[in-house]
Chain A
Amino acid sequence: MPLDTAISEAKVWAWLDKVPDPEIPVISVVDLGVVRGVEVEGGAVTVTLTPTYSGCPAMAVISLDVETALAREGVTSVTIKTRIAPPWTTDWMSDAGRAKLEAYGIAPPQAAGGPERCPHCQSTDVEKISQFGSTPCKAQWRCRDCLEPFDYFKCI
């Protein structure tokens, strides 16, 4: 254990920023916007999470990953709370998260309801294949220039 053992909210946020999303590991759970609050009382930490989609199967894994990450930092008392209001929206995703998504090949969410450009070749000539994709939060699109299919993070 390091000498500076006092746990602060800022430290917890920094630790959580290193916890990857289990289905899109290039962004952290903080980038994704599912961490709604951190409370520290003495040595006890309470983390409040919100689901992206109500049936998102990654939520159980995210809770477990958060607990594990905090335990690794020496936090012995972790409580995970779930809150659905106000409901998660893609607006809560950080700018850093959006940039990381695109670099990974997933077009980040846009208010217009479709991707701005192909994450592979940056062409704006894109078309929808399906409204749904490999996870509840994504849709399938295709680039008409490079012809590559790609995931689009749905905007809700």
Chain B
Amino acid sequence: MTHLFEFLLRQGDNALVLGHRTSEWCGTAPALEEDIALANTALDLIGQTQLWLDYAAEVEGAGRSANDLAFLRDAYDFRNALMLEVPNEDFGRALMRQFLFDAAQVPWLDALQGSSDSRVAEIAAKSVKEARYHLERSADTVIALGDGTEESNRRMGAALTYLWPYAGEMFADDATDRAMREADVAPLPSEIRPAWQSKVEETLGFACLTWPVSDFAHSGGRSGARHTEHLGHMLASMQVLQRSYPGARW
């Protein structure tokens, strides 16, 4: 497995797993406008997945398609950050997660626009516009709910406490990251952290929420070594059609 393939899987799997989790809200969100917003956000993420995994499949050159990568790999072959696979739980956690991801994704995709790999730069240029739009909404919602009622503030605090130990993995550099940095394909994830941190600090301040004390970060999602038990359950429902009826088409 080449570093570039691994890198592309990480981008595609992040978008796919969060896109699928977000799509789980379709028809069940707390308000019609939120239902539509979540479905549209999911759609953007699945669209981005298509771009990343198409390219990943080409780079791999093993005859697999983007659909094969999405629907026929098992949990240990996924390369998404752990934070994106944990269950939605409630609207507060879903939006807090979207915010923590968007706040990292905007500077990340912004930097990828200058990638030495022209395909990566093109996909980033297309995606960053959508990510900026997502961040506007997720940050606004985190503030509205954090600075809302006692109940909504309590739930946003609980969401932050739950998600925090997973957030740090997004910025933990490894051999693949260093190889991509060396080839000027991408910056190191750790280089994005300051921009993320200042956006998160500012937003949590407006949202009457406290920056968590601990810096402990779980790892294992981006490398595939240790996913949570939740990913397999999610894939079971996401992949059931292709697993049951291989090659089924619309």
Residues of A whose CB lies within 8 Å of any CB of B are 51, 53-57, 84-87, 89, 129-134, 136, 140, 154, 156
Contact = CB atoms under 8 A, between A and B. Distances in A.
B137 A131 contact: yes
A20 B129 CA distance: 25
Interface in B39-78: 40-48, 50-51
Given A54-B47, A131-B37, A156 B123 contact: no
A132 B33 contact: yes
A131 B34 CA distance: 9
Contact of A130 (B33, B127, B133): B33
Interface of B: 33-34, 36-37, 40-48, 50-51, 121-123, 125-127, 129-130, 133, 136-137
State the majority secondary structure of interface residues on B.
helix
A136 B121 CA distance: 23
Nearest to A130: B33
Contacts of B130: 53-54, 156
Nearest to B44: A55
Contact of B44 (A53, A87, A131): A53
State the majority secondary structure of interface residues on A.
loop
Nearest to B122: A85
Contacts of A136: 40, 43-44
Contacts of B43: 53, 55-57, 136
A54 B66 CA distance: 15
A87 B36 contact: no
A55 B125 contact: no
A156 B126 CA distance: 10
A131 B126 contact: no
Q: B40, B51, B123, B125 — which one has the most chain A CB atoms within 10 A of its CB?
A: B40
A55 B47 contact: yes
Contacts of A86: 125
A87 B136 contact: no
Given A132-B33, A140-B33, A84 B137 contact: no
